[in-house]
Structure 1
Amino acid sequence: MGLLLACLFISNIAFAEIAVIVHPDNSASLDKKAIKKIFMGKKKKYDNGNVILPMNASKGAASRDSFNKLAIGRTTAQVNAYWSKLVFTGKGTMPRELTSDAEIIATVSANKDAISYVDASAVTDAVKVIATY
């Protein structure tokens, strides 16, 4: 029984709730399918024509691993391999990488076209949450 509880506790740590965030004035309506397309380089513009600026958490960040697994449905290694191929063939540019939830929130709150994700516990009123995983 103790082992089962320990496994449940660890799985909750591994997949903390992730909030997808945008600038508070961004009125775009994005469902989870569109969010996946954005972070896979398949959707590049909002409906208003503005270029979407996706931002990733840094490599090794728990929020990045959780986002990739929950939102994209792939491991971080699989997502990195996908992007390596796109970049190598000239068909895409990997989303910019930011070092912390605080930097992500600061960057998104300063740019109306940015979109990113953070641990849900890090969200402030400087950004708007459009989806959670």
Structure 2
Amino acid sequence: MRAFLTFLTLAILSGMPLAQADELLVIANPNVPVAALSPDELASIYLLKTTSWPSGPGIVPVNREASSHVRNTFTELVLRQPLNALNAYWNQMHFKGKVPPLIQESDQAVLAFVQKVPGAIGYISAGTTPQNVKILARVP
């Protein structure tokens, strides 16, 4: 919550319109059997604690690349964990045989992946026009 408030304060002080201030869209394949997700549900999906949709296919989360500003925003506002804690978490998960979400190199690549892969979920900057996907959440 502190990160969100800091972000909001900086956006206001800089005169940046809030609708453009690092807003992300969480998108899913059109066949995903849910209409919306909370931040806690998103975190559970991206930490592989929730791995299937209710009465539906397995969840296929996709991340942006580690150096992406979009990914940093998503990690800060949704996962709410520092990078070193996430790295330690994924090291533990690796030993349990689980791999982190797949990675795509651009918003367009995430969009194309989510459109084509049943059960897929991803996030893109709000400036990208999503087509043939469900929008499950807006962050922040």
**For this structure pair, what is the TM-score category when the shorter chain's length is used for normalisation?**
0.7 to 0.9
Distance 1:86 1:125, change over 3 A: same
| 2-structure distance, mates of 1:21, 1:110 | 12
Q: How does 1:79-98 map to 2 (within 5 A)?
A: 79-87=86-94, 89-98=95-104
CA RMSD after TM alignment: 2.5
Distance 1:10 1:64, change over 3 A: farther
Does structure 1 conserve the Cα–Cα contact (< 8 Å) formed by 2:30 and 2:133?
yes
Find the counterpart in structure 2 of residue 104 from structure 1.
110
Asked if 1:118 is matched to 2:113, the reply is no
Find the counterpart in structure 2 of residue 19 from structure 1.
25
Any unmatched runs of 5+ in structure 1? none
Find the counterpart in structure 1 of residue 44 from structure 2.
37
CA positional deviation for 1:91: 4.6
Instruction: Count residues with an aligned counterpart.
Output: 127
Asked if 1:63 is matched to 2:73, the reply is no
Find the counterpart in structure 2 of residue 9 from structure 1.
14
* AA at the equivalent of 1:17: E
CA positional deviation for 1:86: 1.1
Partner SS for 1:129: strand
CA positional deviation for 1:17: 0.6
CA positional deviation for 1:10: 9.8
Partner SS for 2:14: helix
Does structure 2 conserve the Cα–Cα contact (< 8 Å) formed by 1:105 and 1:123?
no
Find the counterpart in structure 1 of residue 80 from structure 2.
73
TM-score, normalization: structure 1? 0.82
Point out the structure with the larger helix share.
1
Q: Percent identity?
A: 26
Partner SS for 1:122: coil
